[in-house]
């Protein structure tokens, strides 16, 4: 593990090592296992690209029968939100009457997740919950409850474990934070 890395024009320093991420993923998986133990085949819906690594580790710790799918929304440009969110792509088949757990890499202002939840709720699922690897409480501007937050951070910009800075950094197994 390197302490400082360069991605495009910015330097990032190590913030959360892989072992700590694994502990947080285990803890959130245990909560979901308890809450959904008696529910009929819940459906995990991962939001690409950022959630791929979190989903992969989370789902291995899920003990009930489940289904899994991925969808795609608009992505971020650089280190601040563009405020532009495209439509939801890739959800084939009905989710009516299903228990849906949306899996996100990070909920920042809440713009993306709100858009996603509006679209999902119009499809009449039995329930929708959100499981995010990271939550930024100081930036969150929406009222929709984010039930499962593996970790909370401040307003800093992070990369690694699926999260990118203009497409770089997704494959890092540790989390890095941008330096000034």
Catalytic residue, candidates 3, 22, 105, 108: 108
Closest approach, Cβ 82 to Mg ion, in A, equals: 13
Closest approach, Cβ 34 to ligand IMP, in A, equals: 26
Q: Sheet containing 175-178: which strands, arranged edge to edge? A: 4-7, 10-16, 175-178, 158-159
The entry of ligand IMP, Mg ion, none near residue 81 (CB within 5 to 8 angstroms by kind) is ligand IMP
Closest approach, Cβ 51 to Mg ion, in A, equals: 7
- Nearer CB in complex with ligand IMP: 124/173: 173
Q: Which residues bind ligand IMP (CB under 6 A)?
A: 50, 75-76, 81, 104-113, 157-159, 163
The entry of Mg ion, ligand IMP, none near residue 158 (CB within 5 to 8 angstroms by kind) is ligand IMP
Q: What is the DSSP letter of 173?
A: S
Site string for Mg ion, 85-114 (x = CB under 5 A): --------------------x---------
- Nearer CB in complex with Mg ion: 25/36: 25
CB of 41 closer than 8 Å to CB of 16: no
- How far, in whole angstroms, is CA 47 from its chain's centroid? 7
Cis-peptide into 49, omega within 30 deg: yes
Give the torsion sign (CA, 168, 174, 178, 179).
negative
The entry of ligand IMP, Mg ion, none near residue 110 (CB within 5 to 8 angstroms by kind) is ligand IMP
Residue with the CB atom nearest Mg ion in the bound state: 50
User: Active site includes 119?
Assistant: no
When asked if residue 50 is in the footprint of Mg ion (CB under 5 A), the reply is: yes
User: Residue 111: enclosing H or E segment and its boundaries?
Assistant: helix 111-121
52/42 Cα distance (integer angstroms) = 18
Q: Is 147 exposed, middle or buried (0-12, 13-18, 19+ CB in 10 A)?
A: middle
Both tokens of residue 157?
A: 């910009």
- What is the binding site for Mg ion (CB under 5 A)? 50, 105
Catalytic residues: 108
């Amino acid at each position: 593990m390197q302490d400082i890395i360069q991605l495009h024009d910015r330097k990032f320093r190590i913030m959360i090592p892989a072992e700590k991420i694994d502990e947080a993923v285990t803890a959130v998986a245990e909560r979901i296992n308890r809450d959904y133990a008696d529910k009929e085949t819940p459906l995990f819906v991962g939001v690409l690209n950022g959630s791929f690594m979190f989903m992969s580790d989370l789902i291995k710790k899920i003990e009930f029968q489940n289904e899994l799918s991925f969808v795609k929304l608009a992505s971020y440009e650089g280190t601040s939100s563009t405020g532009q969110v495209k439509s939801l792509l890739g959800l084939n088949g009905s989710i009516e009457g299903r228990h849906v757990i949306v899996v996100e890499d990070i909920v920042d202002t809440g713009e993306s997740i709100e858009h996603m939840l509006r679209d999902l709720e119009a499809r009449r699922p039995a329930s929708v919950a959100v499981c995010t690897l990271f939550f930024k409480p100081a930036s969150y501007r929406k009222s929709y409850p984010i039930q499962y937050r593996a970790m909370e951070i401040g307003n800093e910009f992070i990369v690694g474990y699926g999260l990118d800075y203009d497409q770089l950094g997704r494959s890092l197994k540790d989390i890095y934070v941008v330096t000034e």
